[in-house]
Amino acid sequence: MSILVAGETCWRLDKADCASVIVDADKFFRHARNAMLKAKRNIMLIGWDFDTRIELAHDGKDDEAPVKVGPLLDWLAARNSELEIRILKWDLGVINSLARGETPFYVLKWMFSNQIHLKLDGAHPAMSAHHMKLLVIDDELAFCGGIDMTVGRWDTTDHRDNEPRRRSPMGFAQGPWHDATTCVSGPAAAALGELARTRWYYATGEKLSKSEGADQIWPDGLDVDLYGVEIAISRTAPQYESRPQISEVETVKLAMIASARKSLYIESQYFASRRIAEAIAARLGEQDGPEVLVINPEGAGGWLEAKTMDSARVRLMKLVTDADIFDRFRVLYPVNENRSPIYVHAKIMIADENILKLGSANLNNRSMGFDTECDIAIEADDHSTRATICRIRDTLIAEHLGCAVERVSEEIKASGSLIKAVETLNQPAGRGLIPVPIRELTAADEVFAESEFADPERPAGVRYKTASFLQQRFRRPTPLSLS
């Protein structure tokens, strides 16, 4: 039975004429730029952060359009007087923009432009973040995932040290960065356009019309992974004023954990949601439960994140490891050819070869109920889709191990295990995956790990209630109460 049910694990399901997973921002930036060059009526950029100074193309440019975000959007508007460009950015994110030296020139200009409209999204509880990342073009093409169009995100799948193209606009070196997003066309893109317009309305009070009669578009050079596949759209949105709490992302994650038979492959910036950890622990306690492979960064960035998110990860790793009586759980971080850590920002969950979910939501409390998030999921109903989901998973593992995807697929088939395949193919030098250590926590770490200051579960006063869908579908002693 499908776990993707409208009104339960997702907002809605719509068909994508074409769908692809894009790994790392080198490809995303190039394909996003190419797609925006095809825009006829509107472009909507909805996100946590944007930086007008970043370059979307570093090489291979064969057109006259600018490569930096700010000049490119100005150029597109000047070329087409009917094109409307709307940018919605988290209101507190503008502080980050000014702190890192981004010029306020575009911010001020676009706030008063007739064609390019920049608004700051403050329609959320105090300290909540507008975290979903959408780019929608003419309601015909949409990107949805974890990549912000800002500094520090660009990288190739090589993740080389001292990459000359991976520098900030001010010339500072930036570390290796792993990320992912999706591209969909057709009705699924139109649905994401509706979500973007809804978020715009909440933030601005302005109701926008859907684009009608848009041309079919697809980025040049982007291989299509799936044709005519149904896409589920899941959201997180905190209760705010008259708007209800939405926790579809948490529901679908728990449903995927409960439904997995053989394996769960996860990439996430954090491992800090107790409900998710307890659900994984419950499955690991089953004799015939799935193995769970989690790819995390070595550590969180910044002092506060390291104290809160890393400490919470240690506590939850201990909880899950204690339940892992059959040795089926690993938390690993990737390193490049020089064994430098690669920061993992991707948010991916793949259950068996049956369900792939990718979006903006991490495995932390905020993403489950306090920030605004958007994930999309694909559930296989035929051999071809299962094979594609399997290939995407194996390609991700192959990138982390620095080997051919065929070797990963062969080893998984031979051993029947993701973990055994990784341990067989992992090398002591060069690209690879390294276990995240479970360190001892200090008293201060324990306090930060339990604090809701940096990673709250819900807005103040919002209580959990039982998710009847999960209880009815999965009758297991798993923590399944949600808002």
Asked if 42 and 84 count as a contact pair (C-beta separation under 8 A), the reply is: yes
Measured CA distances, 77 to 29, 56, 62, 113, 374 (Å): 19, 17, 20, 10, 28
Q: What is the CATH number of domain 242-482?
A: 3.30.870.10
* Domain made up of 18-229: CATH architecture: 2-Layer Sandwich (3.30)
| Structure tokens belonging to residue 298 | 């070595």
E strands, 254-316, in order = 263-267, 291-295
| Structure tokens belonging to residue 133 | 């990342």
Asked if 128 and 370 count as a contact pair (C-beta separation under 8 A), the reply is: yes
Domain positions in the chain = 18-229, 242-482
Q: pLDDT tens digits for 208-227? A: 999 887 789 999 999 999 99
Q: pTM here?
A: 0.94
Q: How far apart are CA 430 and CA 402, in angstroms?
A: 8
- Same fold flag, 18-229 and 242-482: yes
Q: pLDDT tens digits for 13-59? A: 999 999 999 999 999 999 999 999 999 999 999 999 889 999 999 87
Which sign does the torsion angle of CA 381, 382, 388, 391 carry? positive
Using alpha carbons, select from 58, 217, 73, 77 the residue that is nearest to residue 138.
Answer: 217
Tell me what pLDDT residue 480 has: 45
Residues 6 or more apart whose CB falls under 8 angstroms from that of 30 comprise 56, 57, 60, 219, 221
Q: How far apart are CA 50 and CA 69, in angstroms?
A: 9
Which sign does the torsion angle of CA 429, 431, 432, 438 carry? positive
Q: pLDDT tens digits for 268-304? A: 999 999 999 999 999 999 999 999 999 999 997 766 6
Per-residue pLDDT of the chain (483 residues; tens, 9 = 90+): 899 999 999 999 999 999 999 999 999 999 999 999 999 999 999 999 889 999 999 876 778 999 999 999 999 999 999 999 999 998 876 666 666 566 667 777 887 788 999 988 989 998 899 899 999 999 999 999 999 999 999 999 999 998 988 988 888 889 999 999 999 999 999 999 999 999 999 999 999 999 887 789 999 999 999 999 999 999 999 999 999 999 999 999 999 999 999 999 999 999 999 999 999 999 999 999 999 999 999 997 766 677 788 889 999 999 999 999 999 999 999 999 999 999 999 999 999 999 999 999 999 999 999 999 999 999 999 999 999 999 999 999 999 999 999 999 999 999 999 999 999 999 999 999 999 999 887 776 676 666 666 788 888 888 776 577 887 888 654 444 444
